[in-house]
Structure 1
Amino acid sequence: MAALSSTERGERLRSLLAPGIATLVCLAILIGLGTWQLARKGEKEALIARIVERSRAEPPAAPPPFGAWDAKADEFRRVRVTGTFLHDKETLVHGLAPGEPGRALQGFYVLTPLKRDDGTTILINRGFVPTELQRPADRAAAQVSGETTVTGMLRASETRTMFVPESDPARDAWFTRDIPGIAAAKGLTRVAPYLIEADATPNPGGWPRGGQLRVDLPNNHLQYAFTWFGIALCLIGVFSVFAWRRLHEPAEPKAG
């Protein structure tokens, strides 16, 4: 095999232009994804710290339903509210709850409107019930009558993701905590734009089981960032080997 001439080397360099540009584009995407995961890691850690701090604070009264509600600033704040449950307008939202280690319980979250003396209403996520207790008649002891006080975390209306079925108000089948949708379906008026996730205060009969909001949110963003950066390094290595071989392999001898 003969050494490369200057013309052949120039041709080989030009042949690396297209794969080189493609590699740079992919590299930029991979580095961008890794950097984004690092940013998400910081945001998640700040969120967890905020939830923990607020969960330990003495709960003030819930904000006025029609005052300034900023989900980003106010969500996960622990509050206290007093009113009367409207059990006939409760809504069951499909969901899972922690069960035995490595196993989740399938059932529903019970959202019950709480009417206050000023005529406003706040949806209260009273907690989880397994599928076999979805009918109120099967958990009649859990009906709280008269004026009651609830403490819990402020939560914004839940946005449906790609893998969550769409709720069907006509069948009373709910898969997200859709505050406006539930309020309209149940004929509720003057409803707060937030709901309250009730603390683990025992309900009569033990159900619904409150306190389901977990502060140990998964935070795997550093692992994801290392994955993207690792793929980027592999891409650099593969292209480097390809380019070196392309530029240094001897030329094929020409047929005489």
Structure 2
Amino acid sequence: MIDAPARRRAWIPALALLVLATLFAGLGIWQIQRLGWKTRLIASTQAAIHSAPVDPAALPPGDLSALVYHRVAISGRFVPGGTTLVTGTSVMGTGYWELVPLAGDDGRTVMINRGFLPEGSRLAPARAAVPTGHTRIEGLLRVTEPRGTLLRANRPAQDIWYARDIAAIAARRGVSVDPRLFIDSWGENPAPGGGAPIPGLTVIAFANNHLGYALTWFTMGAMAIAGAIVVKRRR
């Protein structure tokens, strides 16, 4: 005859598997919720990209995260002295994003990402090539990137930049801009001459694997339940 403590110990593996099944089910439900959020994010981003452009002067105060990738348009004149090269990558490889302040006609100065320059580009020639005439920019609203990464942190004292930290860049250049945002240019009117950075390379991609993750977690939960049943029967 099996004593009571032995019978209770016999239940332990099955109970552990049932706990795991509950955990896996919870993770699957969480991924389904993430799927809904990601689907809405992709839809809203596509709507923002294809919406009519807005003037930065019409942007609300405070955080602009909800407006990332909205189309914007601004007219004014570049401030070449504020030109900064930020190390980055694009579909064209490794190089630099050229950031230049634009003094808008409404008195607001906004940092513009004019586009991508190839590796080996230098600041002085890039600054000298910035057009000084009146121009109109259309592009996508982006928010400042103040943190960068642990291994590639900005070094303002050495004028080395890996993240588009607008406040820090503006302070280094001695210009006053809206520190919350920059604009990824889709193009300039009038179009710049040869040697200008290549605009329109904003990468807009959202991985949406949540359904696959959810199915994986639910499958593991079902396997845990099946295992618990097998263990119980054998015990």
Q: Same fold (TM over 0.5)?
A: yes
Query: 1:173 pairs with 146, 150, 160, which one?
Result: 160
Aligned twin of 2:90: 97
1:126-145 matches, within 5 Å, as 126-137=114-125, 139=126, 142-145=129-132
Question: In structure 2, how many angstroms separate the alpha carbons of the residues matched to 1:113 and 1:147?
Answer: 13
Using the aligned pairs only, state the percent identity.
33
- Give the greater-gyration-radius structure (CA): 1
Residues 85 and 14 (structure 1 numbering): CA distance in 2 closer, same or farther, change over 3 Å? same
Aligned: 1:231 with 2:224: no
Question: In structure 2, how many angstroms separate the alpha carbons of the residues matched to 1:40 and 1:203?
Answer: 43
TM-score between the two structures when normalised by the length of structure 2: 0.81
Question: In structure 2, how many angstroms separate the alpha carbons of the residues matched to 1:161 and 1:36?
Answer: 29
Query: 1:149 pairs with 100, 118, 136, which one?
Result: 136
The one-letter code matched in structure 2 to 1:129 is L
Aligned: 1:54 with 2:42: no
State the 1:210 CA deviation.
Answer: 1.2
Any conservation in 2 of the 1:179–1:194 contact (CA below 8 Å)? yes
Residues 64 and 170 (structure 1 numbering): CA distance in 2 closer, same or farther, change over 3 Å? farther
Count of equivalent residues: 233
Aligned twin of 1:207: 196
Aligned twin of 2:104: 116
Consecutive unaligned residues in structure 2, runs of 5 or more? none
Secondary structure in 1 aligned to 2:216? helix
Residue range with higher mean Cα deviation, 168-177 or 152-161: 152-161
Secondary structure in 2 aligned to 1:208? coil
Aligned twin of 2:70: 77
Residues 152 and 239 (structure 1 numbering): CA distance in 2 closer, same or farther, change over 3 Å? same
Any conservation in 1 of the 2:71–2:138 contact (CA below 8 Å)? yes
Question: In structure 1, how many angstroms separate the alpha carbons of the residues matched to 2:87 and 2:24?
Answer: 36
Q: Deviations over 1:202-246 (max 9, x none)?
A: 64225311112234432222222223333333333444434433x
Residues 13 and 50 (structure 1 numbering): CA distance in 2 closer, same or farther, change over 3 Å? same
TM-score between the two structures when normalised by the length of structure 1: 0.76
Residues 27 and 54 (structure 1 numbering): CA distance in 2 closer, same or farther, change over 3 Å? same
The one-letter code matched in structure 2 to 1:91 is T
1:15-30 matches, within 5 Å, as 15-16=9-10, 18-19=12-13, 22-30=16-24
State the 1:80 CA deviation.
Answer: 0.7
Question: In structure 2, how many angstroms separate the alpha carbons of the residues matched to 1:239 and 1:117?
Answer: 70
Question: In structure 1, how many angstroms separate the alpha carbons of the residues matched to 2:89 and 2:220?
Answer: 34
Any conservation in 1 of the 2:144–2:179 contact (CA below 8 Å)? no
Question: In structure 1, how many angstroms separate the alpha carbons of the residues matched to 2:146 and 2:35?
Answer: 21
Aligned twin of 1:222: 211
How well do the aligned residues superpose, as a CA RMSD in angstroms? 2.9
